Amino acid sequence: MPRTLTINRITKQYTDGDRRIDVINDLSFELMSGESLAVTGPSGSGKSTLLNLLAGVLPVDKGELVLDVPGGAVCMHDASERERTAIRRQQIGYVYQFFNLVPTLTVLENVRLPARLNRRRDLDKRAAELLQNFGLADRTGVYPEVLSGGEQQRVAVARALLLSPPLLLADEPTGNLDLANTAQVANLLFQTAREIGVALVIATHNPEVAAMADHQLHLTGGGAP
Ligand SMILES: Nc1ncnc2c1ncn2[C@@H]1O[C@H](COP(=O)(O)OP(=O)(O)OP(=O)(O)O)[C@@H](O)[C@H]1O
Ligand SMILES: [Mg+2]
């Protein structure tokens, strides 16, 4: 199985006034394609910070973060912000905690957005197929505001999967959902990720969701009480 993600001794600190917060300390791990990693830990332990480092939203302070993608290995730790943004757009699916759907676009347009941003015109069928698989075939023409939380989260997952990216990041994707929706969204995420061979990193407070992952990483970082 090819390796998608190599993290070698990465460190991230924040400075808050004259207080220094060591959020990620000397962290190393690897993740193969088709494998999943659950990131757990109390509020403030650095789960979102880690996902933002993996997504290239934030730069690492020290260490190496290498993404193996079609076209070659990318050293995210050496890349400029502009390069990291391009990689994120092309190679990384990111399910944000609060959905981040575009309110002025329909469900179908939201799911097609990554294709539009990458000038891919060949993915319309795939968008429709994902919405069908996610039980949203009859919701394609509506705007996000009329959807339930579970439906919005399924749209966000479909959108993150559209390009079949080598790396999929999900920040508490079931955080705002009831039991039934949590199970449904978690199953869809893990199943689809395995099917298309994505490396999945999921931050979660839910022990049952964390237990569905192949590997577990428990953070206790500097900001945690
Ligand atoms: N931009 C920033 N500047 C200073 N400190 C920050 C910044 N962003 C986050 N922090 C601090 O870093 C620590 C880790 O935050 P992070 O958001 O990664 O935690 P988390 O594990 O995702 O928490 P939660 O479970 O509440 O989402 C916290 O103490 C937070 O206050
Ligand atoms: Mg968080």
* CATH number of the domain within which 32 lies: 3.40.50.300
* Alpha carbon of 72 to ligand 2 centroid (Å): 30
1 has pLDDT over 80 = no
The answer to the question of residue 126 being in a domain is no
Comparing CA positions, the residue from 28, 204, 27, 115 lying closest to residue 190 is 204
pLDDT at 73 over 90: yes
Interval between CA 210 and ligand 2 midpoint (Å): 15
Task: Give the single-character DSSP code of 172.
Answer: S
Percentage of residues in the chain with pLDDT exceeding 90? 78
Does pLDDT of 99 surpass 80? no
Asked if 83 contacts 63 with a C-beta cutoff of 8 angstroms, the reply is no
**Residues at CB less than 6 angstroms from ligand 1:** 14, 16, 21, 23, 41, 43-49, 221, 223
What span, in angstroms and rounded, lies between the C-alpha atoms of 26 and 217? 13
Q: How far apart are CA 220 and CA 122, in angstroms?
A: 43
Residue 142 forms part of a structural domain: no
Q: Which ligand sits nearest to residue 170's alpha carbon?
A: 2
Ligand nearest to the CA of 171: 2
- Structural domain total, the chain: 1
Give the nearest ligand 1 atom to 205 CA: 25
Map tokens 């469900």 to a residue. 107
Checking if the pLDDT of 78 tops 90, the result is yes
pLDDT of residue 100: 86
Question: What average pLDDT does this structure show over 63-80?
Answer: 94
What are the start-end ranges of the E strands in the chain? 3-16, 19-32, 36-40, 62-69, 72-75, 92-95, 167-171, 199-203, 215-218
- The range of the structural domain enclosing residue 176 comes to 3-102+150-218
**Cα 119 to ligand 2 centre (Å):** 31
pLDDT over 80 at 224, yes or no: no
Residue type, 11: T
For residue 197, the Cα-to-chain-centroid distance in whole angstroms is 14
pLDDT given at position 96: 87
Mean pLDDT value across residues 44-72: 95
In a domain, 114, yes or no: no
- Domain membership of residue 92 (yes or no) is yes
Q: How far apart are the first and last CA of the chain?
A: 38
Residue 24 in any domain: the answer is yes
User: Is residue 225 pLDDT above 70, yes or no?
Assistant: no
Tens of pLDDT, residues 188-219 = 899 988 999 999 999 999 999 999 999 999 99
Predicted TM-score (pTM) of the model is: 0.93
Neighbours of ion ligand 2 (CB under 5 A): 47-48
User: Over the chain, what is the mean pLDDT?
Assistant: 93
What φ, ψ does residue 190 adopt, rounded to 5°?
Answer: -65, -45
Rounded to an integer, the average pLDDT of 75-81 is 96
Question: Is residue 16 very low, low, confident or very high in pLDDT (cuts 50, 70, 90)?
Answer: confident
105: which DSSP letter? Answer: S
